[in-house]
Every structure is written in C-alpha cells, then in structure tokens.
A and B are shown apart, each in its own frame.
Chain A
Amino acid sequence: MEKGRIVKIAGPLVVADGMQQANMYDVVRVGAQGLVGEIIEMRNGRASIQVYEETAGLGPGAEVVSTGAPLSVELGPGLIENMYDGIQRPLNAMLEMVGTNITRGVKVDSLPRDKEWEFVPCVKPGDEVCSGDVIGTVQETVSVVHRIMVPYGKDGKVKEIKSGSFRVDETVCVVEGPDGTDMELSLMQKWPVRKGRPYKEKLTPSTPLVTGQRVIDTLFPIAKGGVAAVPGPFGSGKTVVQHQLAKWADADIVVYIGCGERGNEMTDVLMEFPELKDPKTGEPLMKRTVLIANTSDMPVAAREASIYTGITIAEYFRDMGYSVALMADSTSRWAEALREMSGRLEEMPGEEGYPAYLASRLAQFYERAGRVKALGSDDREGALSAIGAVSPPGGDLSEPVSQATMRIVKVFWSLDSSLAYARHFPAINWLSSYSLYVDTLMKWYGENVDSEFPALRTEAMKMLQEEAELQEIVQLVGQDALSYEDRLKLEACKSIREDYLHQNAFHEIDTYSSLKKQFLMLKLILSYFNLGVDALAKGAHYAPMVNLPVREEIGRYKYTPEADIEKEYSRISADLAAAMNKLIEQGVSEDD
C-alpha cells in the first residue's frame, strides 16, 4: 500500500507527496477520517487528488493511502429502488448511520450485505460459459429479473453451481478457467466507472422509446438507444420533462441522476415514484428505478463522478438485455464541477473558464449510450438511451456546454421560456427542436400504429411552420387580410398547439397518451381543418365554423381514458362530419 503525505489543500483539491507507486485514477483515502478521493494528476511523486467529501479540517502532513484500484461501482441485486450519492453510497443506509446530515468519512457498502436473494441457476456443471453469459437469475423486484452474468474475462467451464438463498458476496458458482484455475463467482461484480462496459457489437437504433408525451412521440421522437438533450433556461420545465420521461418512458430500467440539482426534487421523486404505477406492468415505478442523487449542497467532486456512476449501472442492466433509460439532470452542473477542478489544478482554461477537454468528455459520456448486442453466447440485445438536461446560463445556447452537447446528440428538445410564461407545458418549441430519428421511427409508426401516422405528422409539422409565417403577416396587417382558408389554418394550428401539444403532467389521464391515442387525436384535429377547407369551398360560412361546439369536444379528447379512445373517436368524428355538412347546407341556403 502506497502512503503519502498531504502538502497542499485548496478546497476539494489535495496534493500529496510520496505517491510514486500509485496509479492515475486510483481511489485514495485521505486523512485520519479516510475521506474518499481520486488521483487526477501525477507529477513525479506528487499526486493531485480530487476529494469527494468536504476537506475542512485537513492539514499538511496528514496521511494519504492509495487503495490501488480505480473508482468502481458494485453491480448486483439490490441496485433497484436504491438511492445513491455520487460515489454509490446508499443514502438511506447513511441516514440510519449518521442522521439527517451527511457527515464525512462514512464507510458503507453499496449493496446490502445482510440481505439474501433467491438465486435460480440456469447452467449446470460441465457447461462452457463465456463473459456475459447468464448463469442464473434473481427476482430482484416484482418488475425486474436480475440476470447474473459471468464477469468480463472469466470464461471457462462451470465446475460447481449452487441454488438457493445467498448474500451478494457469497460464491454461487465456480468456473474453471482454461488454465485450470478456479474462479469463484458471486451475485455481485465490480466495474470501474470511467470505463465503458464491453459489448459484442453496436447496432443502429430502430425502435422508438415511447414516452407518452405527445410533442415528443409525435413530433420529435427518440429511439431506444438514442441520445437526447433538453436545454432550457430555469423555470422552463426541464425537470418536469425529465420526471415525465422517467415516469412514462417504456424502458425496463430507469436510472435517474440528479447531478447538482435541488434536494427537494430528489425527495419529490422518492415520494412520488413508489406511488405511481407503470402503465405496462401495473407495478410501482420505483420497482424499476435506480436513483443517483448528488444535490447541489453535496461536495462538488462527487458531482463529477455521479454521471459516470449512473451510466455504469445503466450499462450493466443493458448488458442483461434490457432497455434502459438514463436521465441526467443536469449535465451543466457536471461541466461546472469539471471547471472547478480544472481551475484548482491551474490548467489553462478554454471557453468561459471550462477546460479544453470539456467537449471530448461530454462526447465520451454520451457515446456510452446505444443499442448493442451484449456479450454472451445468446446474442441478447440491450439498449441504453441517454437524456441529458442542459442548463445554459441565461438560456443562451451559444455557451460551451450547450454547443458541445448539440454536436453529439441526435434529438434536441428545445425548451422555450416564452411558452413557459404562457404556461404551455411541456414548453418544447416545435420550430427549433429536432429529431434525427424521425425517418427511421416514422417507418416503425407506419407499420405498428397506423399507416397514416407518418403523413399526419408531416402535415402537422408543415402547418405549424406555415402558421409561424402567417402569424408574421397577421402581426403586420391584421387577420382580416388573410383568406378564409388561411384563417382556418390558424384556428387548426391553435388546436394543435393548445390541445395537442399542451399536455398536463399533473392530470391523471392527460399525463400519458398512448401512440394510438396520439394518432387519433391528431387525426381529429386535422380532419377538422381538411373538412373545413372542403366545406368552405362548398359554400359554408367561416364564422360559425370557428365556433363549432365539436371543436371543444376535440379539445377535451385528451382527457378520455385509454379504454374509450376508439369509441370517443368515432363519436366525435361523426359529430364533426355532421356539423360540417350542416354548415354547408346552411351556407348554401342562406346564399340563395
């Protein structure tokens, strides 16, 4: 064990001498309290260490001990439903140990050691196994079957396999390696957080991650294994969007990283998720969720580590063959932590004081997402979708973190403060957002939802674009200068915006719309427009068309329970057709 002595302390940065034998990125224990730190720079025998806990009270001469291993997470049963800090210490266990405030030097196991899990093996002695092969399963929660995999590099022949109740650190399987050595496998494995977990092959994303949010699913969909960014000024509803996705995205596992954000938001998640039901399984959402919380008052260095901790856990579940969704709120806080450490290291700053390696670190992080063929002989497919929030200062997207993010991500949901002021939520701007998965996914929608879906989406987008142009004219010369057809288009767009795109996250039914419901609702709105244009041509009058009572019914369609959507749709579309016909009759008879 390498022992060094502190020579310098500046905030979360500690420099220690006498560390010749230590490796870069080794975890070290600092001072008498054994604070956790990580070596981030080496100069001769001097190691610069970022300390994940408050450094007050440390002085020169205090001991620094290297553990010889990089920062790693424990992976195994017990992850789900847990809430961790940035370096994977379970917060509930810490609450029991040291009380309501986080004191320093707390040592606690990431996975509970006293809990026993029912292990069901699926291999037998004599079977050849390779890295990533599933040797058995543990029913971790009602929603999640935890597949126990052979850790990387432990290929061989199964010599012994047990069945029954085990703690995570007990041996359940012995594998004889090619060189004849025995390797003991337990339910748990470890993996260094800064290194992506290996897989066989990366695949192109092809199926949508359905979120139940109309503006996202219809206009700017994200694929399973895709990456998205949600930038927006404060108060524009970033966190609500992230929470909505964590609640309703059709992923098997959700990893939610609260990185440098408000403590109460994490409490909100903790209190709400056990109550909410997964629309697929009917079980509480918490049963598929892992939370990483490094709130803004917790030490800044651990904030830097938190997103790596989160994505490593997400990769682990991806390797089991699951679809995992990872939310990071917010990557800007992570970048700021990077900047703070860079400043303390006295590195030459890049833009706005951020280190020059900001963009490459961000790219490395997002590139760990994707759809993959996992290791193991059964060729399972897993997907890891990453959705990062960005908090640009002053809402100005020209700042380095937003720019670096936009270069990487394929989906961009741009939040708009003027929409937020008008209480239009989710405040995703339909003109400046984009999704590069539209072409691939619309094909899927056409095959799996309705063949008309892609055409309908294109029409809606086109109308919204035209609306923006028409609005400019209206601003200049007033509505009267427009043709009736254009005025009707404005009315229909108003319906698209206020009824369709506006979605109330706090309404029990409106909070989630199935794809079928999204399709039917959009179809109602557009057929109002198309029938209206037709009726105008046949002599109907414009004024009564705007005030048709059936429009209100279309507006309220979003509050229809999922069970009744087809019935309601037929009723309203019949009403609509009848109302339009009546307008034509009236128009013709009045003109006579």
Chain B
Amino acid sequence: MIKEYKSIREVVGPIMLVDGVDGVTYDELCEIILPGGEIRQGKVLEINGSKAMVQLFESSTGLNLSESKVRFLGHGIQFGVSEDMLGRVFDGMGRPKDGGPEIIPEKYMDINGLPMNPAARDYPAEFIQTGVSAIDGLNTLVRGQKLPIFSGSGLPHANLAAQIARQAKVLGGESNFAVVFAAIGITFEEAEFFISDFRRTGAIDRTVLFTNLANDPAVERISTPKIALTAAEYLAFEKDMHVLVILTDITNYAEALREISAARKEVPGRRGYPGYMYTDLATMYERAGRKKGSKGSITMIPILTMPEDDKTHPIPDLTGYITEGQIILSRELHRKGIVPPVDVLPSLSRLKDKGIGEGKTREDHAGTMNQLFAAYSKGKEAKELMAILGEAALSEVDLMYAKFADEFEKQYVSQGYETDRSIEETLNIGWKLLALLPKSELKRIKDEHIEKYWPKED
C-alpha cells in the first residue's frame, strides 16, 4: 500500500520538506500530485526521523502546501530501456519528446548505476579514428575512454563534437555503433544543430537523444546525463554495441548541482560548488569504459565551457582529474581562423600509448607524435622570442622551428569540419612538416623510422 502524504511543510527553491513520513528510504523516488492532477517527480535527499527532505526534479511553480500530495514509490529513479530507443528523442527526464509512441521497456534500470569493479575493467586499447588530425595524431582517442572537450563561450565545440560523432570509426572493425547524446541546459539552436547534423548524415537512426534545454527546469539537469548513461550502459553491455556518449554542457550540470547544494545550506567548497562535486562528477564519468566478458564499450566525450576560459575553474579542474585527458580549444587559434581550433600543447589523451603503434596505427606514430609536440612547443617559444627581440636575434634553427609552428597550425591542425583524414594521411602530413627541420633535430624518433618515412625528394 503506497501512502500519500499531505504534509509538505516547506518549499525552498528545488528543496521540499515533508513531515510525518514513515517507511521512507534514502534516495527513494517520489511523485508530487498537484491540485490540478499534474504529477511531478522528486527524490529523497535526507531523512531525519519523520522528516524527509526531497529534491524536486521539476519546477516548484504551482506547488501548494495544503493541497499537494506526495507519494513515495519505494524505489530509486529508474529508466525503462529497450533497443527501440535508437532514433528517438527524449526530454531530460527520459520521456519521449518527438511525438512518437511510448517506449515499451525491456527492463527498468536504476539511473545511478553501480560502481564498476576495477578488476572487471578491460583496458581501453582500440584506436578510434576520428578523422581529425589533432586528435588522431597527437591526442588519440581509444574505445572506452572518457575524453572531454574544454571549450569557452563562443568557440565551435559543437562543430567538433558533431564531426567526431559523424566520422568516428574503428579501423577494420564492425559497425555495431551507436551515439547517445545528452543536451544539458543548452539552447534550442545548439541542440537543433546536432539533431539536424545527425539527420543530414543519417546518423539519427543509431542515435538516442536526450534534451534538457536552457528553458527547462535546472534541477532536471541532474538526471539528464545519468539517464543518458543508463541508456548507454544498456546498449553497450547488454546489446554489445560500441556507444559514443556526448554530454554537453557539463558546466550547466555543475551549476544545477550548486543550486541544490546552496538550497540545502551546505558548507561550500571552492567557488560555491559543493565539496562532493568531485565524487558526483566521478560517478558519472567513470561509467565509461569496457568490461571483461562484454563486447560493447562506452566512449565518452563530455563538453564543458570553461568560465572565462579558465582551466583552473573547479568544473574543468575536477573534470581533468577524473577524465583520461582533455581536448582544449583555443580562442587565439579560433581568431586566427584555424579550424578546428584545437590547442594541441595543453591537450592530452592519457590512453593514447595503448592505442597506437604497430598493428594499431603505424610503428612510427609514437615517435613522430612526441617529436611534433616538442617541435611545436619549441616553435612557439621561438615565435615569442621573435616578438620581443626581432627575427635577427634567433638562430637559424630557431627560425626553422618558428616556421614549423606556423605551418603546423595551418596544415596539420586546420583541416575544416568536413575533412575526414585517415591515420595514414595524418602521419604523412606530420612527416612532411618534420622535414622542415634538420634531420639531426629529430631526437625522439628511432633512426630506422626516420630512414623509412622521411619524405623522399622529388
């Protein structure tokens, strides 16, 4: 027998206090029945004796303390999953939004998931070719990795994410591939950009979309990525698909988290974000990966906009500590017209070493990658020096490096959103650029590779 309570005592922001409850458990889902019959959802955040503190997932508008009723459902938040989700659009709480029929769930899954046993993880080691040189060549993505894009307001992260979703493939691999896309508090236009891009390329049929737009309730955003990941886990680990999850924008998620924390009057950590934000983000990001005994995988690309382009802001900072690297977009390169404006030096893929080399990409990949990084870094230093002291102060070699840095940005990084480069092409462009430098400078490449791959004079 499910009891209904009419004892709502307080509603403050997204937090509601219900008194006189009995048998309620922590993290339980509840429904709030408004006088007009409308039903809204919430979950139990804290129980103290007979008082339950409930977090609303939707707005509190129209909630009436004397007339509204609360019903506790006896389970946590669940999402009904089925393969029919593919090709559909849902709202931030997982309800169909595209006018299509309700999904008939094959099963219900708790949206919080369970921590994965580290002993059960399979190490990500399969190279994913995104067709973007700055990623494939230098910050290689592998299956089961979580690699965020750190962007800023006004930078074209959406184009890059769409390009990756469109072009990503595993060399020689099968194509049981799906995309789960969660829009968290982004604008209609940005969401529409993704949807129309998926439609244009036909990718929509293997995509599950969850959209919580900027005008949807902020508290709903807490659940959107979790529901999306639940769908991804089902497709990956029960249906053996390779799932690419794109979450945009994590900044909005973190802000919703802060809103709830502030409403609960918790002691804040840095910049008002709750002290448990690391744990909260980690439980989300760590759901990416591969499992032993399962063919599928979840590769995650969360996108976040860094407030004031500041990488040390708590959101990018905590994210960087959890994810396996980051792709950073640069405003400076964007202004210079480099497309995509990937800032390769601070970008990093921690798992690249396992996904590259002989049999995966090419034997010379690791060496050329390190050499390109070192050379570009040196070239940028030389250019800075040149700006202060003038060209005359630079040695001959430094001038070569400066030229290398320019050409590198132009030829290697700037490829446009429609170019899909194979890894061979990417590596060959790398060699062409390295040939701008004297052979003796290539200290990080094995001699036999230099001999084999050094571009032949025509």
Contact = CB atoms under 8 A, between A and B. Distances in A.
Nearest to A549: B440
Given A300-B279, A479-B395, A101 B49 contact: no
B223 to A, nearest CB: 15
A133 interface: no
B366 to A, nearest CB: 7
Given A101-B114, A262-B324, A394-B312, A60 B317 contact: no
A555 B443 CA distance: 8
Given A83-B118, A296-B322, A393-B317, A353 B275 contact: yes
A9 interface: yes
Contact of B26 (A9, A260, A297, A479): A9
B443 A267 contact: no
Contacts of B270: 352, 393
Interface stretch (B58-66, B157-165, B170-178, B282-290): B282-290
A9 B27 CA distance: 10
B49 A268 contact: no
Given A296-B282, A555-B443, A95 B312 contact: no
B121 A267 contact: yes
B388 interface: yes
A56 B282 contact: no
B230 to A, nearest CB: 13
Nearest to B279: A300
- Which of A55, A296, A333 has most B Cβ within 10 Å? A296
A422 B374 contact: yes
B114 to A, nearest CB: 4
A561 interface: no
Interface residues of A, number: 69
Given A393-B312, A394-B312, A100 B293 contact: yes
Interface residues of B, number: 79
A383 to B, nearest CB: 29
B124 A264 contact: yes
B117 A102 contact: yes
B215 interface: no
Interface string A244-275: 00000000000000101011101110110000
A263 B26 contact: no
Given A262-B324, A271-B123, A60 B286 contact: no
A102 B312 contact: no
Given A9-B46, A297-B287, A91 B117 contact: yes
Interface string B318-339: 1011101110000000000000
B388 A475 contact: yes
B269 A352 contact: yes
A260 B348 CA distance: 21
Q: Name A's interface SS.
A: mixed
Contacts of B103: none
Interface string B292-304: 1110000000000
Interface in A276-319: 293, 295-300
B443 A498 contact: yes
A296 B393 contact: no
A475 B389 CA distance: 8
A59 B47 contact: yes
A336 interface: yes
A517 B454 CA distance: 32
Contacts of A336: 275, 278-279
Contact of A8 (B24, B25, B49): B49
A299 B286 CA distance: 13
Given A100-B291, A296-B322, A349 B117 contact: no
A506 B395 contact: no
A57 B25 contact: yes
A509 to B, nearest CB: 12
Between B276, B279, B345, the greatest number of chain A beta carbons within 10 A of the residue's beta carbon is seen for B279
A56 B112 contact: yes
A215 B76 CA distance: 52
Contact of A234 (B276, B292, B321, B351): B321
Interface in A52-80: 54-61
A126 interface: no
B195 to A, nearest CB: 30
Given A9-B47, A340-B279, A267 B123 contact: yes
Q: Which of B121, B283, B373 has the most CB of A within 10 A?
A: B121
A83 B374 CA distance: 38
Point out which of B50, B278, B292, B395 has the most chain A C-beta atoms below 10 A from its C-beta. B278
27 contacts: A9-B46, A55-B26, A56-B28, A57-B76, A59-B24, A59-B26, A83-B118, A94-B119, A100-B117, A101-B116, A233-B312, A234-B317, A234-B321, A235-B346, A262-B286, A262-B322, A267-B121, A296-B282, A296-B283, A339-B269, A393-B314, A393-B317, A394-B317, A422-B374, A423-B373, A423-B377, A480-B393
